[in-house]
Structure 1
Amino acid sequence: MKKLLALVLAAAMALSLVACGAAKPAAESEPASTAESASESAQTEPAAGKHKIGILAPAVTHGWVAAVAYNAELRCKELADQVDYKLYTSTNADEMTAQLDDLKTWGAEAVVAFPQWEGMEVPIKAAIDAGLTIVNFDIAIDAEGVYRVSGDNEDMGVQGAKYIVDKIGKTGNVVILEVPTSGSVSELRKKGFVDTMAEIAPEMKLTTYATKFTREDGLKDFADILTKNKQIDAVYSMDDETSIGVLQAIKEAKRTDIKVVTGGGGCQEYFKLMPEYKDIWVESALYSPAMVKDAVDMALDVLNGKTVEKVKIIPTTIVDRDNCADFLDEKSPY
């Protein structure tokens, strides 16, 4: 009897252990940070042979800015066999600095940064001193050791002047839409335009007005400009968003005198508008957010020990109705 009781107790204990084991939950993965990309980048250790690259971009203030983060992530995904990545967006320098620290803790070997905020020089230099490779996109800052990829703002103005002269000749009335709040961006684009126009079409009449890099301001400001100028042959606008507003103002005013409207950036909506205008040459000097892909490539090349120039300036490409189909990307947020 005692022997039988012992066997029953042993069986009960065995069943209890099996039940406890079955009830134990599987280990849960830590949730990915809401600020990072939902991808393999959440790994703590990179897969064998992969480099860890961080991406720092501003929060969306403009369609072009949104496309920077989009293209950076797209390139990292294309390099999935070579790269693990984390992507952060920020609204100010303090937030971007904290994110840079997070990337250090994660073990990033390189960071592609779009440091629009003032005050990023010190944290970026500290990261370089700590052994990280830093590649800035678009923005030049005073930090020794930083790499940079950028478009050519002055050349955008040069190409805009050449394009207008090619379409309307060497005389006429041209409105320049500058954006003083954008600092060196507007200054360089205007300089390239004015200097080139003085060289190739000195008889051209240039009139300058201030606006902003938004379609709303383009519409509002150019509607006012149209009432002040009875004859305008071409518009040198520096931004695609501004130009969308300009085109709307022209349409609403039923003006037929304007033969050229330039732009700048890489806005998909603007590209799609180009073929619709048969009597106006709608142009963009491509300053594409897709250039950030080159910044990711540069970071990877440095990590792989390749010889890399500190600064890469990407030449201007002109887009109009003749070639706009080649630059369409249905997935782009810009």
Structure 2
Amino acid sequence: MKKYLALILAIVMSLSLVACGGGGGGGNTETPSGGGETQTGGEPAAGGDIYVLVPNADHGWTGAVLTYAQQKAEEVNAEGTYNVVVQAATDAKNQQEQIDDLLAAATPPAGIVILPYDNTMESSMASIAATDIPFIMVDRIIDNPVVQEKVTANVKGDNEGIGKATAERFIEDGLQPGDKLYVMIGDTSSVPEMRNKGFTETLAANGWTEEQLATIEYSAATGWSRSTGKQLFIDWINSKTVEELGEYHYIFTHDDEIGMGILEALSGTEIEQAKKDAFLESIKSIGSSSGLGEMYEVLSGTHANTAYPDIVANFDLFSVTYPPKMIQTAVDDMISHLNGESVEKDHTITVDVVDSTNVADYEGF
């Protein structure tokens, strides 16, 4: 009798395992450690799995990166050679956990494409570099010698080029050595460092001394957030006197979300009117970057906020391109590498300056 009961129990357990996910490997079967979003391809592919790890959609640009990554996954998975799995991390710890899971898996990924959450990902990137798994970094490049020795490619926008193009535009708009400058930075990753480097090196090449460069004011990190950028701008402008605001003619923001935060602040009521008037009478140029569709609407005069045309009529507003579609370029590079083709190790995407005169030629996200 006991033998029959044991046999019946074994059969029931086997059926339960089948019902819980045994057959085929299709569908969304994986969830990254600690949360986040996952997209998994269909049937197992002959070429193996390519994992695309990106930050969660915490602002416009990363949201576009995630969307483009998912679109690319659908395209590649439909072809059937490779299976692309997209994972979005809620924070740096979550992304570290995702990497730990991949490196501990019985079957290693065919390749990893990763936009590191921030600079705290350095040890995790070194862990990937210690394996034979090919990997490509996107946008936020970890400049560690061990990582750089093994990385398949660095796919990035021209961050220094953004700073350079912004400085050159300001100079065209009349910027002189020693003029008052306010820079609103993104975060503490390599991206703002490179944008500021391109900016200040261009100023230095155009006559700025070290002492004059040291007078440039920098905001606290905005985290690429419109609301944080807006509040930092409000606090900054309200901290100045009307006379002091008359000395500021140029503002360099690291992202269109920050630029939109400035415009929202200028169209709102949280800035003293006298200071708002002084700022708008003084400002000559505001530069941002990335290609946010809403910023392109402001540049083209089609934005729903009817206050914006009068505001931006006072100064030169422009945005330097930094396409989130670079995540698709990185996946293409990984596939080329896995197919035995050579890829450019430092794959830098050039920049363009977009303003009201040429915005119709560009697609925002």
TM over 0.5: yes
User: Which sits farther off after the overlay, 267-276 or 174-183?
Assistant: 174-183
Inter-CA distance 257–119: structure 2 relative to 1 (3 Å threshold) = closer
3-state DSSP class of the match of 1:182?
coil
Give the TM-score normalised by structure 2.
Answer: 0.70
- Matched to 1:290, the amino acid is K
Residue 156 of structure 2 contacts residue 347 of structure 2 at CA under 8 Å; is this kept in 1? yes
Query: What is the alpha-carbon distance in structure 2 between the residues aligned to residue 139 and residue 219 of structure 1?
Result: 24
- Matched to 1:301, the amino acid is S
3-state DSSP class of the match of 2:113?
strand
Residue 173 of structure 2 contacts residue 285 of structure 2 at CA under 8 Å; is this kept in 1? yes
User: Counterpart in 2 of 1:322?
Assistant: 357
Inter-CA distance 170–151: structure 2 relative to 1 (3 Å threshold) = same
User: Which sits farther off after the overlay, 131-140 or 249-258?
Assistant: 249-258
Q: CA deviation at 1:125?
A: 4.6
- Matched to 1:72, the amino acid is A
Q: Find 2:182's aligned residue among 176, 184, 190.
A: 176
- Matched to 1:59, the amino acid is N
- Matched to 2:349, the amino acid is I
* Pairwise CA RMSD: 3.2
| 1:220 aligns to 2:217 (yes or no) | no
3-state DSSP class of the match of 1:264?
strand
Unaligned runs of 5+ in 1: 1-24
Q: CA deviation at 1:183?
A: 4.4
3-state DSSP class of the match of 2:252?
strand
Q: CA deviation at 1:84?
A: 2.2
Query: What is the alpha-carbon distance in structure 2 between the residues aligned to residue 123 and residue 179 of structure 1?
Result: 25
| 1:152 aligns to 2:123 (yes or no) | no
Inter-CA distance 112–165: structure 2 relative to 1 (3 Å threshold) = same
Q: CA deviation at 1:273?
A: 1.2
User: Counterpart in 2 of 1:19?
Assistant: none
User: Counterpart in 2 of 1:12?
Assistant: none
- Matched to 2:73, the amino acid is C
User: Counterpart in 2 of 1:311?
Assistant: 346
- Matched to 1:321, the amino acid is S
Q: Find 2:323's aligned residue among 288, 291, 296.
A: 288
| 1:247 aligns to 2:273 (yes or no) | no
Inter-CA distance 242–93: structure 2 relative to 1 (3 Å threshold) = closer
3-state DSSP class of the match of 1:322?
coil
Residue 180 of structure 1 contacts residue 187 of structure 1 at CA under 8 Å; is this kept in 2? no
| 1:58 aligns to 2:59 (yes or no) | no
Inter-CA distance 208–169: structure 2 relative to 1 (3 Å threshold) = closer
Once the two structures are superposed, what CA deviation does each residue of 1:217-240 show, in whole Å capped at 9, x if it has no partner? 333333344452124322222221
Query: What is the alpha-carbon distance in structure 2 between the residues aligned to residue 188 and residue 121 of structure 1?
Result: 17
- Matched to 1:138, the amino acid is D
- Matched to 1:186, the amino acid is P
Inter-CA distance 105–283: structure 2 relative to 1 (3 Å threshold) = farther
User: Counterpart in 2 of 1:9?
Assistant: none
- Matched to 1:271, the amino acid is Y
Q: CA deviation at 1:265?
A: 2.2
Q: CA deviation at 1:105?
A: 4.9
User: Counterpart in 2 of 1:267?
Assistant: 292
Inter-CA distance 168–96: structure 2 relative to 1 (3 Å threshold) = same
Q: Find 1:233's aligned residue among 249, 260, 266.
A: 249
- Matched to 1:208, the amino acid is E
Query: What is the alpha-carbon distance in structure 2 between the residues aligned to residue 220 and residue 125 of structure 1?
Result: 37
Once the two structures are superposed, what CA deviation does each residue of 1:162-212 show, in whole Å capped at 9, x if it has no partner? 111223364794432243852443333223222322333649996414142
Inter-CA distance 195–125: structure 2 relative to 1 (3 Å threshold) = closer
Once the two structures are superposed, what CA deviation does each residue of 1:246-272 show, in whole Å capped at 9, x if it has no partner? 223334524233231100223221121
Identity, % of aligned pairs?
Answer: 26
Inter-CA distance 96–186: structure 2 relative to 1 (3 Å threshold) = closer
User: Counterpart in 2 of 1:76?
Assistant: 73
Q: CA deviation at 1:85?
A: 1.1
Unaligned runs of 5+ in 2: 1-18, 32-36, 269-275, 302-311
Query: What is the alpha-carbon distance in structure 2 between the residues aligned to residue 208 and residue 124 of structure 1?
Result: 33
- Matched to 1:287, the amino acid is Y
Query: What is the alpha-carbon distance in structure 1 between the residues aligned to residue 123 and residue 131 of structure 2?
Result: 12
- Matched to 2:111, the amino acid is A
Inter-CA distance 97–189: structure 2 relative to 1 (3 Å threshold) = closer
Query: What is the alpha-carbon distance in structure 2 between the residues aligned to residue 118 and residue 249 of structure 1?
Result: 30
| 1:67 aligns to 2:67 (yes or no) | no
Give aligned pairs, total: 301
Query: What is the alpha-carbon distance in structure 2 between the residues aligned to residue 275 and residue 105 of structure 1?
Result: 53
Residue 281 of structure 1 contacts residue 321 of structure 1 at CA under 8 Å; is this kept in 2? no
User: Counterpart in 2 of 1:195?
Assistant: 201
3-state DSSP class of the match of 1:263?
strand
Q: CA deviation at 1:128?
A: 5.0
